[in-house]
Structure 1
Amino acid sequence: MGLRRSRRRASDGVEVPVESGVSGVSAEDSGFAVELRGVRRQYGRGGGAVQALAGVDLALVRGSFTAVMGPSGSGKSTFLQCAAGLDRPSSGSVRLAGTEITGMRENALTELRRSRLGFVFQAFNLLPSLTVEQNVLLPMRLAGRRQDRRRAGEVLAQVGLADMGRRRPGELSGGQQQRVAIARALVTSPDVIFADEPTGALDTGTAVEVLGLLRHAVSGLGATVVMVTHDPVAAAWADGVLFLAEGVFADRLDGGTAEEIAARMAMLTARRVPVAGVAA
């Protein structure tokens, strides 16, 4: 792919604590791509209620690459769904690029997701009956926008698939399908790309190529990437890692190696309780 791994300095700021003077700054001027304030998500009621998120406070600067890790059942998927507007929190506030989405009507929220967000999933989620080019253009089609084939060609070239537009997903390898998914995520020039275990179904070599593309989306294209992963090697490509436990952010590591991230995860899994006083 010709992409070299690069890392932003930890001092550039991956995640900003609530206590760092955010209050009083207008959303438009804050420079944050993703903001969660007091976000809770509860499923069920009464004695059988499950608190998936127990009060998440988070602000991610634009143009950053953040990995989110945590033990099974820590709330990673719920966090991603609430942050991306795929699920509504029980309480709290979510802003995307300065836009408050918590109380947004469903049709407006759907339009926002199609035009300003990109998604990359472990299972690729490509439509087998469509060509690669048609899959890439799908967000434009669903948003009722003109399907710009030149733009599709540009993003396919960026992910190394310039000559694959007329093929169908079933003719491609898993790594190529995930590159198509990344091209689809990039086609609308989104504010934020949410990636859910994007390398989970890939071999090591292909995973490196996909992570390089996500890294390039940040460093080369100015996108903001939020990636949920269980893999410390994948997380090491991010600017920083946030660790979820019991529905809150319990720890943070900026600029860590895969070994350091794995060690931090092992400590968190063994403890399985939040670290008191750690701001997220």
Structure 2
Amino acid sequence: MALRRDRIPTEERRGTAPAVELRAVRRRYGRGEGAVDALRGVDLALPGGSFTAVMGPSGSGKSTFLQCAAGLDRPSSGEVLLGGEPITGLSEDRLTKLRRSRVGFVFQSFNLLPSLTVQQNVLLPQRLAGERQDRHRAQRLLAEVGLDRHGRRRPGQLSGGQQQRVAIARALITRPEVVFADEPTGALDTRSAHEVLGLLRRAVDALGATVVMVTHDPVAASHADRVLFLADGLLAGELTRPDPQAVADRMVALTAAADRRPAATATV
């Protein structure tokens, strides 16, 4: 399956503003003595046309990072920018419109609507955004993920791996600036996981998409250009051109350090 290039080439995009940027982002939940700091001042910039994996021990803040970066949650302080445009202060209505048109999502649980056909699920972001539903593009994306003959089926008639491929086609239908993937292989067998990761990798290489993926799996992370590690709500290092063993070794060290940390300072 070879994804067709229909976006700005990766090498051209990397000379522009970062696809995603966080500036001194903090996120606190609760108040007083019971408050929990999930992010404690994160600064980073992710270039367009890149594939970044985000990892960390349980409670490191990686889920909160994804939610803040994607505009699903608001930082307590700091700023998030998408394509150079600040999104932190946008109204809920404008944030919703931005997510529908400029951001794609792939979740562990697929989040397909069982009452809709496969093609209708792929077209759903365009429908919600009030855009013309491009059935030719939807069919082309389904062909590119190997499901061109399944457009009229319901999600319940597909395997888990096939449903996740539908979710990837859905994430790409609006030509988003960034695709956020939250444990996209967590519910899949090894073969299906490999296929899904290959599709995300080719979305970056062939379409110039930007993918940000939270994962706990060193093998999944090794498909990325770079792995960012979070610990206690802070960036704790990175690996470029990662291999599974190097990622696993780093995670072992971070997990051991987290286990030694006093429980009162743990994040979510």
- The question of whether the paired residues in 1 share the 8 Å contact of 2:56 and 2:231 is answered with yes
Aligned residue for 1:136, secondary structure, equals helix
Determine which of 160, 180, 201 is the counterpart of 1:194: 180
Deviates more, 1:180-189 or 1:264-273: 264-273
Cross-structure match for 1:131: 117
Counterpart code for 2:189: D
Q: How many residues align?
A: 251
Q: 1:219, CA displacement in angstroms?
A: 0.2
- Match of residue 236 from structure 2: 250
Q: Following superposition of structure 1 onto structure 2, how do residues 20-169 of structure 1 map, counting pairs within 5 Å?
A: 30-169=16-155
SS at match of 2:223: coil
Residue of structure 1 in register with 2:219 after alignment: 233
Q: What code does the residue aligned with 2:239 have?
A: L
Shift of 1:2: 7.0
User: Partners of 2:58 and 2:155 in 1: how far apart?
Assistant: 31
Q: CA deviation at 1:30?
A: 4.5
Question: What secondary structure does 1:190 align onto?
Answer: coil
Q: Which amino acid aligns with 1:70?
A: G
The CA deviation at 1:64 is 0.3
Runs of 4+ displaced beyond 6 Å: none
CA contact (8 A) 2:106 2:180 kept: yes
Once residues 271 and 53 of structure 1 are traced to their aligned partners in structure 2, the CA distance between those partners, rounded to angstroms, is: 17
Once the two structures are superposed, residues 231-265 of structure 1 have per-residue CA deviations (whole angstroms, 9 ceiling, x without a partner) of 00000000010000000111111112101100011
How far residue 118 of structure 1 moved from its aligned partner, in angstroms, is: 0.3
- For 1:140-163, what per-residue CA distance to the aligned partner results, in whole angstroms no more than 9, with x for missing partners? 010111111111111111111111
Provide, for residues 96-129 of structure 1, a one-character-per-residue CA deviation record: whole Å limited to 9, x for no partner: 1111100001111111100010000000000000
Unaligned runs of 5+ in 1: 4-11, 16-28, 275-280
Matched, 1:216 2:206: no
Post-superposition CA distance 1:73-103 (Å, at most 9, x none) = 1001100000000000000000011111000
Percentage of pairs with the same residue: 72
User: How far apart are 1:31 and its partner, in Å?
Assistant: 2.7
Question: Does structure 1 conserve the Cα–Cα contact (< 8 Å) formed by 2:222 and 2:243?
Answer: yes
For each residue in 1:4-24, what CA deviation from the matched residue of structure 2 results, as whole angstroms up to 9, or x when unmatched? xxxxxxxx9xx9xxxxxxxxx
Residue aligned with 2:227, SS: strand
What is the one-letter code of the residue matched to 1:76? Answer: K
Distance of 1:249 and 1:200 partners within structure 2: 23
Paired residue type of 1:100: P
Secondary structure of 2:113's aligned partner = coil
DSSP 3-state at the match of 1:147: coil
Give the letter aligned to residue 36 of structure 1: L
Query: Given the alignment of the two structures, is residue 174 of structure 1 paired with residue 160 of structure 2, yes or no?
Result: yes
Partner amino acid for 1:238?
A
Per-residue displacement from partner, 1:41-99 (whole Å, max 9, x unpaired)?
00000000000000000100000000000000100110000000000000000001111
* Equivalent residue, structure 2, for 1:23: none
8 A Cα contact 2:2 2:202, kept in partner? no
Aligned equivalents of 1:109 and 1:155: distance in 2? 26
Query: Could you tell me how far apart the structure 1 residues matched to 2:163 and 2:16 are?
Result: 36
TM-score by length of 2: 0.91
RMSD: 1.7
1:269 lines up with 2:237 in the alignment: no
Contact 2:103 2:180 survives alignment (8 Å):
yes
TM-score normalised to the size of structure 1? 0.87
| Structure 1 counterpart SS, 2:105 | strand
8 Å CA contact 2:21, 2:44 repeated in 1 = yes
Q: Give the counterpart letter for 1:48 in structure 2.
A: G
